[in-house]
């Protein structure tokens, strides 16, 4: 699975829209806090616009009905942490024409991913009291580690507007490339001052752009919830930390918050 790819590469730039019937959409969730699904309910006016274009056949957060047999788009939140979830994800992928991963948990393994490293080192210590209903546990991983993902809406939680854009790309098609530039490039355009100048750590140095530097605009350093950019230079970022008197070990610790399952995070350890 390449790191730079056209959004919806399985669709060859085409959308799943069928002029003869509404597009059937299901929303499912694995290991998560359901926060990204809640964000979708915050779409308000956008949601009403989108709902007019789709048949929202199943939404795990709001429905106790079973998932329909056939659908066009699967919107999936959460990291995969059990064998059962892995099987369900593969089934979703087989049945969906387009699969959209929403949120840090689904795109980087996010917060559940923090357990990944410990899982390999101390498997019995991490999930000591797993309820039987959860089935066999596996080390947490993002959706793209298991199946092809057509569209990703990053961050923790997702931005409702970003979700609308990705859903519309799934419906109508898009050849747009996934964003791989660093957050700093967006931040510089916003003309905000850099936290490093104040000796404060900010993860924008290595984090994928796309959120418009949302936290920096609010006066808070980036925590890296969009995940490491495939073009990030971690060695150079560590040197920048040293140059500005920012703790490199703090940088490495913060890197693990949303990137525990990214191999790049561990290469310099």
Instruction: Establish if 205 lies at the interface with ligand SF4 (CB under 6 A).
Output: yes
Among 223, 229, 259, 265, binds ligand SF4 (CB under 6 A): 223
Number of residues that bind ligand SF4 (CB under 6 A): 34
Minimum gap (Å) between residue 173 Cβ and ligand SF4: 26
**Interface with ligand SF4 includes 80 (CB under 6 A)?**
no
Q: Which of 43, 115, 149, 202 binds ligand SF4 (CB under 6 A)?
A: 202
| CB of 22 vs ligand SF4, minimal distance in Å | 27
- The single-letter DSSP state of residue 12 is T
- Closest separation in Å from C-beta 158 to ligand SF4: 7
| Residue 250: CB minimum distance to ligand SF4, A | 14
Assess contact for 78 and 84: CB atoms under 8 A: no
Interaction of residue 71 with ligand SF4, rule CB under 6 A: no
Residues near 27 by beta carbon (within 8 Å), at least 6 away in sequence: 37, 40, 56, 58, 59, 60, 61, 75, 76, 77
The HSE-up count of residue 105 (CA atoms within 13 Å, CB side) is: 20
Residue 160 binding ligand SF4, by CB under 6 A: no
Decide: is 153 part of the binding site for ligand SF4 (CB under 6 A). Answer: no
Contacts of 152 (CB under 8 A, 6+ apart): 100, 101, 102, 106, 107, 144, 166, 178
Q: Is residue 104 part of the contact set for ligand SF4 (CB under 6 A)?
A: yes
Residue in 142, 157, 160, 173 binding ligand SF4, rule: CB under 6 A: 157
Do 260 and 113 contact (CB within 8 A), yes or no?
Answer: yes
Which 8-state DSSP code applies to residue 107?
A: H
CA distances from residue 213 to 99, 204, 205, 217, 223 in whole angstroms, order as listed: 26, 8, 11, 6, 11
Task: Please tell me whether residue 222 binds ligand SF4 under the rule CB under 6 A.
Answer: yes
Q: How many CB atoms lie within 10 A of CB 266?
A: 14
Which residues lie near ligand SF4 (CB under 6 A)? 32-33, 35-36, 77, 103-105, 110-111, 155-157, 183-184, 187-188, 194-196, 202, 204-205, 207, 211, 213-216, 222-226
């Amino acid at each position: 699975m390449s790191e730079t790819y056209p959004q919806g590469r399985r669709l060859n730039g085409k959308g799943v829209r069928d002029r003869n019937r509404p597009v059937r959409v299901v929303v499912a969730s694995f290991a998560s806090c359901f926060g990204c699904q809640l964000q979708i309910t915050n779409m308000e006016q956008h949601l009403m616009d989108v709902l007019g274009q789709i048949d929202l056949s199943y939404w795990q957060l709001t429905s106790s009905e079973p998932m329909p047999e056939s659908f066009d788009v699967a919107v999936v939140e959460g990291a995969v942490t059990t064998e059962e979830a892995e099987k369900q994800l593969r089934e979703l992928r087989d049945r969906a024409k387009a699969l959209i991963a929403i949120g840090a948990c689904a795109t980087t393994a996010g917060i559940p991913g923090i357990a990944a490293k410990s899982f390999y080192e101390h498997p019995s210590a991490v999930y000591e009291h797993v309820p039987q209903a959860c089935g066999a546990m596996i080390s947490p991983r993002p959706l793209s580690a298991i199946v092809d993902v057509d569209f990703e809406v990053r961050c923790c939680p997702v931005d409702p507007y970003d979700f609308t854009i990705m859903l519309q790309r799934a419906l109508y098609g898009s050849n747009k490339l996934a964003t791989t530039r660093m957050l700093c490039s967006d931040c510089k355009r916003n003309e905000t001052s850099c936290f490093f100048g104040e000796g404060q750590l900010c993860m924008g140095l290595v984090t994928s752009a796309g959120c418009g530097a949302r936290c920096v605009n609010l006066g808070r350093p980036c925590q890296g919830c969009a995940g490491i950019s495939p073009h990030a230079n971690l060695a150079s970022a560590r040197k920048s930390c040293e140059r500005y008197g920012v703790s490199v070990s703090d940088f490495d610790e913060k890197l693990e918050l949303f990137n525990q399952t990214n191999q790049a995070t561990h290469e310099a350890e």
